[in-house]
Amino acid sequence: MDFRFSPKEETFRQEIRDWLKGNLPEDWTGDRFTRSDENRNVYRDFAKRLATKNWVAPNWPIEYGGLGLSVIEQLIFNEEMSYANAPIGYSTIGVGWAGPTIIVYGTDQQKKQHLSAITNAETMWCQGFSEPNAGSDLANLATRAVKDGDDYVINGQKIWTSGAHYANWMILIARTDQEAPKHKGISYFLVDMKTPGISTRPLIDMMNNHGFNEVFFENARVPRDCLLGEENRGWYMATTTLDFERSSIGGAVGARKMLEELTEYTRETPVPGNGHRLSDEIPVKVRLADAAIEAELGRLLSYRVAAMQARGLVPNYESSIAKLFNTDMQLRMAKAGMEIMGLYGQLDPKSKWVPLKGRFERQYLWQTGLAVGGGTTEIQKNIIAQRGLGMPRG
Ligand SMILES: Cc1cc2nc3c(=O)[nH]c(=O)nc-3n(C[C@H](O)[C@H](O)[C@H](O)COP(=O)(O)OP(=O)(O)OC[C@H]3O[C@@H](n4cnc5c(N)ncnc54)[C@H](O)[C@@H]3O)c2cc1C
């Protein structure tokens, strides 16, 4: 087992660090949580800067606008962006989910139309999968796409669609065969969000953000060439998208940054009345030591996923373990921070009394959502039990 990075990889890491010093937006607070028009512009402008380096999707093949980097180089890239709290959300769905699925299943025309627009940060994508009665049981979806001449006519509703109010395109799954068993009558579409008949309605989350939406389709007519792959094979393509979604690697290092910030905070903060600093208090030390162990473990679980991908293997329950552990670990880290900060730790970032710009309170609420998005904790546990331990389906 050799955990060292090669000299070439270390050079790449240093190049990213140097670049970030000059290219993070001026006055950037590291607020990756607020969803506003202003923040959206910051994200888009940062994506445009990345595009000048071909760094929007550095692991994509060169012909599609990437640099053909290895899985390990992509891991390093993700780690450095995460450690710097860089505003990298603009292209997440395009780069992480839509693009890779198009690379596998798209026609030449679809690849030409969409892939370089993603790597040039010209288009933003959203994901129209979940519905009011289809989340964990996604194949239960009811949105219908009916063939009519050279078009499909779409009717139905999606929910929890992140960023739909900004997105130019949507990856959509809809039912094209009402009679077939539920996994076999679904097709996968690439839909222009400006199509007449598509409307969005905001859903405000517990951070008071407008990040999610309901999306309604009322006789929305899309051309036949929006279909990705074969008709009625959409379920299998959607599972490919979800595999890309869950194997996102490198984020665990953000926890190390939080730990460092928190440790520094305890060194600087006096305990009222006894002349100590918070860092002198044994319960605080124990809490931070626990957090350090967990952050390291999270990083190693991510490395395991990356190492498998680098060897050409397809991680499966291993991705679920990493996703589940890292989400829970960051939630516990945020909770530890809020408890160490006392009641101040729960203040809103806008309060002048809030420590560390309110990042721990925001992180706590954010991670609570991440435990659901991309497949809930219970669904990850089902995958680990069935595919990892060979237990029967429930
Ligand atoms: C931050 C965030 C971003 C999201 N972004 C998007 C997006 O952009 N596009 C999109 O399409 N969707 C998105 N979603 C929706 C997300 O994919 C669904 O919320 C998720 O799949 C769960 O579905 P559900 O909400 O319908 O809950 P349900 O599936 O109804 O689950 C309710 C509860 O029952 C449990 N449960 C369900 N089935 C089982 C089972 N078989 N075994 C054990 N327990 C079970 C679940 O774990 C959960 O606790 C997002 C959600 C979040 C939180």
Q: Indicate if 112 and 138 belong to the same structural domain.
A: no
Q: Indicate if 79 and 130 belong to the same structural domain.
A: no
Q: Indicate if 222 and 275 belong to the same structural domain.
A: no
Residue 2 lies in a domain: no
User: Any idea what the CATH number is for the domain that residue 212 is in?
Assistant: 2.40.110.10
* Residue from 204, 372, 393 to probe ligand 1 pocket by mutation (most atoms less than 8 Å from CB): 372
Question: Last residue of a domain, which of 70, 90, 119?
Answer: 119
Highest mean pLDDT pick, 34-38, 133-137, 301-305: 133-137
Residue 236 lies in a domain: no
Is the CB of 271 inside a 6 Å radius of any atom of ligand 1? Answer: no
63 CA to centre of ligand 1 in angstroms = 35
Residues pairing with 134 in the sheet? 131
The DSSP code for 180 is S
User: Which of 220-224, 286-290, 335-339, 342-346 comes out lowest in average pLDDT?
Assistant: 342-346
Helix (H, G, I), strand (E, B) or coil at 328: helix
User: Any idea what the CATH number is for the domain that residue 114 is in?
Assistant: 1.10.540.10
373 CA to centre of ligand 1 in angstroms = 6
CB atoms within 10 A of CB 326: 25
Q: Indicate if 106 and 129 belong to the same structural domain.
A: no
Name the region of 342 (left: φ>0; alpha: ψ -120 to 50; beta: rest). left
Q: What's the token pair of residue 237?
A: 């393509």
Q: Tokens 């606008």 — which residue?
A: 65
Q: Give the range of the structural domain holding residue 65, as residue numbers without chain letter.
A: 7-119
Residue ID of nearest Cα to ligand 1 atom 45:
378
CA atoms within 13 A on the CB side of 98: 31
Residue 292 lies in a domain: yes
The DSSP code for 64 is G
What is the percentage of the chain residues whose pLDDT exceeds 90? 75
Residue 199 lies in a domain: yes
Residue 241 lies in a domain: no
Q: Indicate if 257 and 309 belong to the same structural domain.
A: yes
Question: Last residue of a domain, which of 231, 261, 277?
Answer: 231
Residues pairing with 222 in the sheet? 152
Read off the pLDDT band of 28 (50, 70, 90): confident
Which among 379, 296, 378 is positioned nearest to 333, based on CA atoms? 296
Residue 375 lies in a domain: yes
d(CA 316, CA 276): 48
pLDDT at 69: 93
Q: Indicate if 265 and 143 belong to the same structural domain.
A: no
Q: What does 118-163 look like in DSSP terms, one character per residue?
A: HHTT---EEEE--BTTBSSSGGG---EEEEETTEEEEEEEE-S-TT
The DSSP code for 188 is E
Cβ pair 99, 58 in contact under 8 A: no
Is the CB of 113 inside a 6 Å radius of any atom of ligand 1? Answer: no
121 CA to centre of ligand 1 in angstroms = 29
Greatest pairwise CA separation for the chain in angstroms: 80
Q: Indicate if 156 and 181 belong to the same structural domain.
A: yes
d(CA 125, CA 91): 7
Q: Indicate if 345 and 276 belong to the same structural domain.
A: yes
In the residue annotation, 230 being an active-site residue is answered as no
What is the percentage of the chain residues whose pLDDT exceeds 70? 98
pLDDT tens, position by position, 247-292: 556 667 888 999 999 999 999 999 988 889 999 999 999 999 999 9
Question: Last residue of a domain, which of 77, 102, 119?
Answer: 119
Sign of the Cα torsion 215, 219, 222, 228 reads positive
253-268 and 71-83 are packed helices; what angle lies between their axes, rounded to 10 degrees?
Answer: 30
Number of domains within the chain: 3
Which among 227, 206, 140, 126 is positioned nearest to 171, based on CA atoms? 126
pLDDT tens, position by position, 117-174: 999 999 999 999 999 999 999 999 999 999 999 999 999 999 999 999 999 999 999 9
